[in-house]
Amino acid sequence: MRPDSDTLVLYLTHRPALINYAAPIVGCRARAEDVVQEAYLRFVQVARDEKVLQPVAYLYRIVRNLAVDWVRRLGAEVREDAGTAEPLVADTPSPEDEVLYRDELRLLAEALAELPETTQRAFTMHRFDGLTLQVIADRLGISVAGAHRLVRDALAHCARRLGDDD
């Protein structure tokens, strides 16, 4: 097997784990994939010139360094643009979007009205009030699993009604 094909096999074997490793650092799976691809290109350049004793660890190190560099570069760009940037989009939705959002809100209200009162309360406490399932369970006098089931059922019902269950 050629050294290039060895590095490719190594990369393809560890690619999903490398993406999972980079994603929390850069905050986005798509960016993590870009970082991992860049890391592979750098790894190939080094592997052609010298023998890498711990190739997997070295690949992880490259991914980490590139991810951290990306975050630092983005932070510097944001700080640089913070004082001079003007919003490119309006702060308010367009009239068409406003009508669409109001219609979706009406459909959501109708969907919630179709549910039992306890399910409605659990859903609104979780989604709108931001309460944890433990707090909801305590307030409703049910188990945490029961609170989870109520929220899940309400969410599934609302998604079906809004047509988002594809």
62-101 pLDDT, tens digit per residue, is 999 999 998 888 887 777 666 555 555 657 777 888 888 8
Contact between 13 and 59 (Cβ < 8 Å): no
User: Residues in the chain with pLDDT < 70?
Assistant: 1-4, 80-90, 164-166
At 142 the pLDDT is 95
pTM: 0.46
How far is 39 from 58, CA to CA, in rounded Å? 10
Domains and CATH numbers, the chain: 3-82 (1.10.1740), 95-162 (1.10.10.10)
